[in-house]
Amino acid sequence: MSATPQARPHQTRRNVVKGAAWSVPLMAVGAPAAHAGISKCTVTGSIQVGPKQYVDVRAICSSQSQTLNPTTIRANYGRAYLPTYLEICNCENSEQWFRWQETDTLSNFQIEVDGVHNDQNGPGQGWRPSFQLPKYGDVGGCKRFNLTYRTSASRPYSPNQNSTPNNAQSVTIQFVLQRGPSSTGPWTPVTTLNVTGGATWRTVGVGWWNSDPINFNSCQPQNSSSARQAAPESTSASEPTAESAPTPSAGTGD
């Protein structure tokens, strides 16, 4: 009697690329149907953000919340647990134009892309200028954008540098990606990516109660020596645990 043939193992994205592209975790959606060759498109899709990390948050005055390049009134005002980059790939077999919108859920908190903010409550409604990418290939036509963060209102205090405190304010970011045949569209939806689990807080304080030393009604730099900067902690950047989950906060972002 002949032996019963064994079923072929099910192919997954992980075993197709033998784990090579999974060394750095990415949040991703919008992967296309199978194409020839291995690229970021087959592994991660058309839009992805890097893993959340602990990063500095600068302070600006409240009157400049919607300004593209406002004055920094405090460089190292606080910390955030959020991604540091966004990457967009063209997963089509022709050159495409892309644009995207980013919005967040925390009032008076702004996202900067390559150092520039486009306010979701301003005329641009958070939409970034369109750009062109070459067609899909073995490596894919991709472009990466750096993400930084700023605040135009006071945040709760914690000395934590590399762990999320219980009193942190939560931040969710939504990226909406569209593509089109020209720099002006017409635009077709590609995908929407929600980044959850983010947080931000203040690390400078004065007095026994660690009061906020920054006057957000003034647009003058306020790097006062009387404000204490929290001492560094461990460099771990793991996901917040249940004990350190950020507290919810209302708002429609900036």
Q: CA torsion angle for 54, 56, 61, 67 (degrees, to 10)?
A: -80
Rounded-to-integer distance, Cα 151 and Cα 59, Å: 5
Domain definitions of the chain by residue range: 21-244
State the pLDDT at residue 135.
80
Rounded-to-integer distance, Cα 203 and Cα 43, Å: 38
Can you list the residues of the chain whose pLDDT is less than 50? 2-38, 138, 225-251
Q: What is the pTM of this model?
A: 0.74
State the pLDDT at residue 20.
32
State the pLDDT at residue 40.
65
Rounded-to-integer distance, Cα 52 and Cα 44, Å: 16
Q: Could you tell me if 246 and 156 are in contact, meaning their C-beta atoms sit under 8 angstroms apart?
A: no
Ramachandran assignment for 45, one of left (phi > 0), alpha (psi -120 to 50 degrees), beta (any other):
left
